[in-house]
Every structure is written in C-alpha cells, then in structure tokens.
Amino acid sequence: MRISASDRTAVASAGSISQSPTAPDAWTPSSWRGREADQQPAWPDPVALWQMTQRLRTLPPLVLPHEVQDLRIAMSEVASGRALLLQAGDCAESFRDGADDIRARIRLLRDLAVILSDGANLPVVTTGRLAGQFAKPRSRDTEAIAGRALPAFKGHLIHDDEATPAGRIPDPRRLLRGYSRARSTLELLTEPACAQRGGRRDLWSCHEALLLPYEESLVRPDPITGGWYGASAHMLWVGDRTRHPARAHIAFLSGLTNPIGCKLGPTATPAEVVEICDRLDPHRRPGRLTLITRLGAARVTELLPPLVEAVRAAAHPVSWVCDPMHGNTRTTAAGLKYRLTDDMLEEACGFVDVHRRLGTRPGGLHLEVTAENVIECAADESVLDSSSYRSLCDPRLNPTQSAHLVGEVARLLRPTDPGSRPTSALSNSR
C-alpha cells in the first residue's frame, strides 16, 4: 500500500487525524497510573525500574510521527474495505534472534502479503509482530517445567526464558535491551536487501502494549496532530487479558494518536466492546481502531454477530480482523500447546461468513507465524513432537502452513460488492 504526499494532506486537512483522540490536557502519558494495571510483573527493585524508564525517556523515538500517520491513512483504507490488514509474526520475539532470523521473518511477511493481495485482489497493509513483541500476558502465574513450578515466562523484555528461578526474576535492564533490539530490527525493515517496493514503506511494526512503564517512557509529542504518539511501534494493540474498559491499558492507549488494535476473546460482551470503542475512538475516525476477534472455531458464528451488531449500532467505523490462533489453542497430554490447522481455517471461514451475512467487512488476518520449519501447529495431534517445537510461547504456523492458510482465506476475502474495489490513488502493494 502506497501513501502519496497528497493523500497525507487530504486526510489531515479533512480533520480525520488532526486531533488526538482525547483532549491533550485531559490525558498524559502517565495518567494510566491512577488505574488498575493487569498483567504487570512484580519488579523486585522498583527504583531500578524507575531509573531505567527515566533513561528511555531521553532516547530517540523508535518510529517517527509521519510514519504513524501514514499507517493511520493506510488503516482508513482497511476500514473502508479498499484494503486488507495482514498482522503477523512471532508470538514472542527473542533477544537471541540473529539478523538472518529477522530477515527471514521479514521475507515471510512480505511473501504472505503477496499471497493475500493476489488471492483477494486488494491492496494489503502489512504490520509485523516484530521490533517490540517482547512482553507476554499469561493466564497463569506459574508454569511447570520438568515437574518444577516456575514463574510463567512473560517475555524477554521482562526476564529470561531459562527454566531456573533466577532466570525468571524481572530485570529492568531488559527494557533498554528491548529498545535496542527493536531499533536494530526496524533498521532491517528498511535495508536495501529487503527491497522496499518503490522506495516506500511496505511493512510497519506492531506489538502488544503490555508493559506500561516501557510504553509510557516511549510516548513522544506528535507534531503533526499536536497530541501524543506511542513511539515504540507504528501500531499497538491491547490484549484480551488487559482490555478491561476502565483499567490502565485502555486508559493509556486512549491518548495516543497511533492506530490501535484490541483483541476480543469469548468473554467479551457487546456492551463492553462498545465501551472500549467509545474510549479508544470517541471521535469515530476510520483507521483508528481495529477489533481483532479470536473467538474459537466452535463459537465464532455464535459469538461474533452480537459484537458486530452492537458496534455497528453505535456507529463505530472499526476494522474487523480475524485472529484464528488464540481461540484455538489445545494442549497434548504431555503438556505441549498446539493448534489444529483445520480449526484455524474453520474460524476464519466462520468470521468471513458472519460479516458477509451482516453486510459488514472482514478486514484481514492476525497470525502467529515463524520462518523456521517447526511443527507447532498441525493437521492432527499425532505428528507433534517436542524435537520440532521451538516456540518461546504459543504454537506458530510454519511457512508452508501459513502460506496455505493465507491462500485459502484470501479467496474468501475477495470483495463481493463493486463499491469496495481498489481505488486508483492507492495502488496495489505489489
């Protein structure tokens, strides 16, 4: 998806992105601190954490305001049905990834974007779960490894994945390492070997905004809008476990000018989702908010319609995206987490069916993928084996599986009405 200077001027002057979502004087980067913050680690040395955030505050932004605004414009095309979103990458990035691992991930995302764009005959906006996807929410505080209970792994931004009590102690020095890793990953997104088509950005960064002290320390003034933007990534999302409308994560994200995503699992109620929309996008600006549903293959056709109808009745111009991964996680008797490829395809088909039936637009896919030839997801449980399983967290699709799934879903995502064909101003991303 290409953005021209005139697109940028047109959207800014139409006022659709020229103000921050809440009055700037009502929101500050630290106003979340008055609210309950879910999923935050217990830092053994809060003073060391504070010192580290003070240091991050002085560092350059990881992403620039005009890049964030370009993604807002691209996302408004998704909201109007003239483009699709592909949001994909690792469940948890690793501090051990080398440059070639990162390049392979970037290549895979570009390949998947081409498959989606060709199959659906629409431009694709690609946001990678990379350059900051280092902090994980967990359902349980502990995990059993080799019969021993350890604090659950919460991502390399917080502690090590090493299965020892010492490895799992939260260490604030990791915030600076995460910042540096994000910076070098972002550099790989634009290196000539990863040819940006036509010299324009074709891949944006995104991650779950989980660790609030880190995110807060990377908020910067946005000179384009006069508000504030999250400089840790182009797009940020709030997870299913931290999306409580009155709590800290939603309060934090409400004041940023970035495009924002919100994951919605099976416990999300229509009223709650409308409240989330009211808080994150009170001015109803297309491109601001993406709702990423992960309801499970078995329940998507039952749970999705009331959410879509409530959001539509409240006139929120959201993009709807399907995450067919997180509602379909199973566990083997030996304790290995996996996902069945048929479940994922079934949830994606159900998602498209519901939107077609209701006359709303299915806006794209959110996937966990790896460029490694692992087997973490499978057509059936019997082929799983811990020797070809490497994920730090959730089971990912390997390149063959992800290409297959994206290809299948792409055909379903072809626009059904002539009003949503690509416009000449926004040429195909290829």
How distant, in Å, are the alpha carbons of 51, 115, 190, 191, 201 from that of 195? 39, 18, 7, 7, 10
Burial of 46 (0-12, 13-18, 19+ CB in 10 A): exposed
What is the Cα–Cα distance from 237 to 260, expressed in whole angstroms? 5
Does 91 participate in binding ligand PEP (rule CB under 6 A)? yes
H or E element, residue 220: strand 219-222
Contact 90, 370 (CB under 8 A): yes
**C-beta of 220 vs 294, nearer to ligand PEP:** 294
**C-beta of 76 vs 87, nearer to ligand PEP:** 87
Three-state secondary-structure class, residue 70: helix
Number of residues lying near ligand PEP (CB under 6 A): 10
Q: Which does 230 bind (CB under 5 to 8 A by kind): Mn ion, ligand PEP, none?
A: none
Q: Which residue is nearest to ligand PEP (CB)?
A: 239
The footprint of ligand PEP on residues 308-367 (CB under 6 A) is 326
* Cβ contacts of 348 within 8 Å, gap of 6 or more: 322, 324, 365, 405, 408, 409, 412
Does 90 participate in binding ligand PEP (rule CB under 6 A)? no
Does 255 participate in binding ligand PEP (rule CB under 6 A)? no
Q: Which does 294 bind (CB under 5 to 8 A by kind): Mn ion, ligand PEP, none?
A: ligand PEP
Q: Which segments within 347-410 are labelled E, that is strand?
A: 362-368, 377-378
Q: Which residues pair with 397 in a beta bridge?
A: 369
**C-beta of 117 vs 242, nearer to ligand PEP:** 242
Interface mask (CB under 6 A) for ligand PEP, residues 47-86, using x and -?
Answer: ----------------------------------------
- Give the residue, chosen from 239, 296, 362, 395, that forms a contact with ligand PEP under the rule CB under 6 A: 239
What is the Cα–Cα distance from 334 to 209, expressed in whole angstroms? 32
**Token pair of 200 as six digits:** 């324009």
**Token pair of 264 as six digits:** 């919605």
What is the Cα–Cα distance from 108 to 282, expressed in whole angstroms? 36
**C-beta of 3 vs 131, nearer to Mn ion:** 131
Identify the DSSP state of 256.
B
Q: How far is the CB of 30 from Mn ion (least distance, A)?
A: 28
**C-beta of 56 vs 405, nearer to ligand PEP:** 405
Three-state secondary-structure class, residue 185: helix
**C-beta of 77 vs 240, nearer to ligand PEP:** 240
Contact 124, 200 (CB under 8 A): no
Phi then psi for 295, rounded to 5 degrees?
-100, -15
Q: Which does 29 bind (CB under 5 to 8 A by kind): Mn ion, ligand PEP, none?
A: none
**C-beta of 170 vs 261, nearer to ligand PEP:** 261
Does 91 participate in binding Mn ion (rule CB under 5 A)? yes
Three-state secondary-structure class, residue 170: coil
Strand order in the sheet with 377-378: 329-331, 337-340, 377-378
Q: How far is the CB of 91 from Mn ion (least distance, A)?
A: 4
Does 89 participate in binding ligand PEP (rule CB under 6 A)? no
**C-beta of 227 vs 395, nearer to ligand PEP:** 395
Interface mask (CB under 5 A) for Mn ion, residues 365-404, using x and -?
Answer: -----------------------------x----------
Region near Mn ion per CB under 5 A, out of 34-42, 87-95, 158-166, 181-189: 87-95
Q: Which residues of 209-228 are buried (b: 16+ CB within 10 A; e: fewer)?
A: bbbbbbbbbbbbebebbebb
Does 137 participate in binding ligand PEP (rule CB under 6 A)? yes
Interface mask (CB under 5 A) for Mn ion, residues 115-154, using x and -?
Answer: ----------------------------------------
Region near ligand PEP per CB under 6 A, out of 36-44, 111-119, 236-244, 283-291: 236-244
Give the interface with Mn ion as residue ranges (CB under 5 A).
91, 394
The binding site for ligand PEP (CB under 6 A) comprises: 91, 137, 239-241, 263, 265, 294, 326, 394
